[in-house]
């Protein structure tokens, strides 16, 4: 599906999908890594391990993009994100959704120099970390 979508958009020469187990395999060396609805499945230690692995795989100036139903920092506006967090607590062993401030802090802890939150359509946002 990824390859067909990239080809339809005319970007197939610039993008690659890397299959694998991100707990066992090294992350690919690349300029940009995207974790879409990945981190909310895991507990804090596992989240931090994945963010650290992403940092280690990126060159200076590279970017990690975390795409999730990011909860607003006041925890009052994104009802979908809050309900998704409850869902993760019920369905996983330690997973939870998080605020933009949480994700930015985790990125800074592992060494990302710049971070920002960008709202997207609907309840989703992305947190961008630049190494």
Active site residues: 40
CA distances from 3 to 12, 50, 59, 66 (A): 7, 24, 25, 21
Strand-pair partners of 129: 64, 115
Pairing of strands 125-130, 114-119: antiparallel
Helix (H, G, I), strand (E, B) or coil at 33: strand
Residue with tokens 């187990």: 21
């Amino acid at each position: 599906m990824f390859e067909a979508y990239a080809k339809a958009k005319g970007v197939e020469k610039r993008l690659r999908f890397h299959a694998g187990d991100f707990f066992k395999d090294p992350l690919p060396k690349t300029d940009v890594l995207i974790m879409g609805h990945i981190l909310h499945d895991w507990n804090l230690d596992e989240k931090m391990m994945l963010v650290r692995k992403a940092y280690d795989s990126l060159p200076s100036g590279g970017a990690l993009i975390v795409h999730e139903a990011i909860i607003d920092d006041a925890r009052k506006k994104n009802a979908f994100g809050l309900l998704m967090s409850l869902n993760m607590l019920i369905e996983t062993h330690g997973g939870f959704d998080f605020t933009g401030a949480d994700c930015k802090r985790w990125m800074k802890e592992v060494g990302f120099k710049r971070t920002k939150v960008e709202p997207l359509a609907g309840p989703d946002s992305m947190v961008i970390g630049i190494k």
